[in-house]
Amino acid sequence: MPSTIGLDIGSSAVRAVQVSAGGRGPAALERIGQAPLPPGAVCDGEVVDGQAVTDAVRSLWSAHGFKGRKVALGLANQQVVVRQVDLPYLPEPELRSSLPFQAQEFIPIPVEQAILDFHVLDNYETEDGARFSRILLVAAQRTMVEAMTECVRAANLTPVQVDLDAFAMLRSLAPERLLGAGEGEMLLDVGSAVTNIVVHDNGIPKFVRILLMGGNAITDALTTALGISHEEAEATKAAAAGHDEAARLVAERADRFVEEIRGSLDFYSAQPEAIPVHRVVLSGGGAQLPNLQERLSFALGLPVDRGHPMQELKIGKVDLDPAQLVEAEPYLAVAIGLAVGAAEV
């Protein structure tokens, strides 16, 4: 049975998920693994220490016995630009080949230094009969992408697909779930240093934003203010209610984060063709911060639910018991989405 592997290179760990194609039934989750990264190896989603990433990936494969060397990778950092753009209609193959000649006015990266991709949102016709395509244009700095793929190749793996983390989490958190007509949903995947935001309409992305904010902002604040280690700060963050100064710092940083999310939603909602957002789905390691779900719901005035990226998968012979799977699930939205996306190619 063919299988695909999604490899999520985060700021604090590398995580991989192997999924077997389901044929007529659901795909099966066959293997899960994680290996920690040393601080600073990946900074704000960009590889800084390629050797450390290579070593972590090798350790991941060795420790968890992944079957296969072909992997799908994800991107989420400030070297990635996502823009909604209207272009004269062309069939998709022709649109792809013409993109380098049309994209420069929409992106801050020189086209010759960028890797370009797009997602068609809609094709429409104006009153005078002119045909246009509305697309999400994606541009990624070529050297950044190459730094990531090179350290993966050094671990004897072959990158077969490079995708946006945001599109990957859209696949895993909103698979085949039909919303009401004109009802949007916001997806948030909160990592250690990067948060991905997607607003979608029945699986069609309408808005994508990458925030360089995550759970580490709170950890770093506690480390500095309390003079404690990173590990102690993580433990303090999880139990801040018992420490007045820690509780104040956590609340302050969490409120800043919530305000950034609210600002992103306000920005999207002000767009002429925005659809109303009716709820929020939350995932990611950083989303485990106590009371974050409640803070977001209060600030946004919307219900906020926990995401379940395993919801459409059959659980295969993973080496985890049900309780461990529940604990691992919030961290796996991107890796699962990458694996599922590779299976669809």
**Residue 11 gets which letter from DSSP?**
S
**What strands, in cross-sheet order, belong to the sheet with 277-283?**
204-211, 195-201, 184-190, 277-283, 304-306
Residue 102: pLDDT above 90?
yes
Q: Which of 94-108, 215-229, 272-286 has the lowest mean pLDDT?
A: 215-229
Q: Looking at residue 282, which CATH number applies to its domain?
A: 3.30.420.40
CATH number at residue 100: 3.30.1490.300
Higher pLDDT: 141 or 286? It is: 141
345 versus 56: which is more confidently predicted? 56
Whether residues 124 and 194 share a domain: the answer is no
Do residues 113 and 205 share a domain?
no
CB 254 within 8 A of CB 292: yes
The pLDDT of residue 242: 62
Q: Are residues 84 and 192 in the same domain?
A: no
pLDDT at 19: 93
Pick the last residue of a domain from 291, 306, 321: 306
Q: Residue 251: which pLDDT band, with cuts at 50, 70 and 90?
A: confident
If we measure between CA atoms, which residue out of 230, 188, 226, 231 comes closest to residue 210?
188
Q: What are phi and psi of 24, to 5 degrees?
A: -85, -15
164-168, 276-280, 310-314: which range is least confident on average?
310-314
Q: Is residue 342 part of a domain?
A: no
For the chain, the domain total comes to 2
State whether 193 and 111 are in the same domain: no
Which of 311, 326, 325, 342 lies closest to 19 in space, CA to CA?
342
pLDDT at 64 over 80: yes
What pLDDT score does 283 carry?
A: 95
- The per-residue pLDDT for 181 is 64
13-20 sheet: strands from edge to edge = 158-164, 70-75, 3-9, 13-20, 28-36, 314-315
- Those residues whose C-beta lies under 8 Å from the C-beta of residue 250, and which sit 6 or more positions away, are 218, 222, 237, 240, 289, 290
Report the run of H or E that residue 133 belongs to, with start and end: strand 131-141
Which pLDDT belongs to residue 319?
80
- pLDDT, mean over the chain: 90
> Hey, is 239 helix, strand or coil?
coil
Q: Is 132 inside a domain boundary? A: yes
Q: Is there a domain that residue 322 lies in?
A: no
pLDDT confidence of residue 238:
74
**Which of these, 342, 303, 339, lies nearest to 32 by C-alpha position?**
339
What letter does residue 178 receive in the DSSP assignment? P
Asked if residues 86 and 79 have their Cβ atoms less than 8 Å apart, the reply is: no
pLDDT tens per residue across span 144-173: 999 999 999 999 999 999 999 999 999 999
Single pTM value for the model: 0.92
Same domain? 200 vs 101: no
If asked whether residues 187 and 101 sit together in one domain, one would say: no
Q: Which domain holds residue 121?
A: 80-141
Based on the domain organization, do 185 and 258 belong to the same domain?
yes
- Give the tens place of pLDDT for each residue, 193-218: 999 999 999 888 999 999 999 888 88
pLDDT for 302: 96
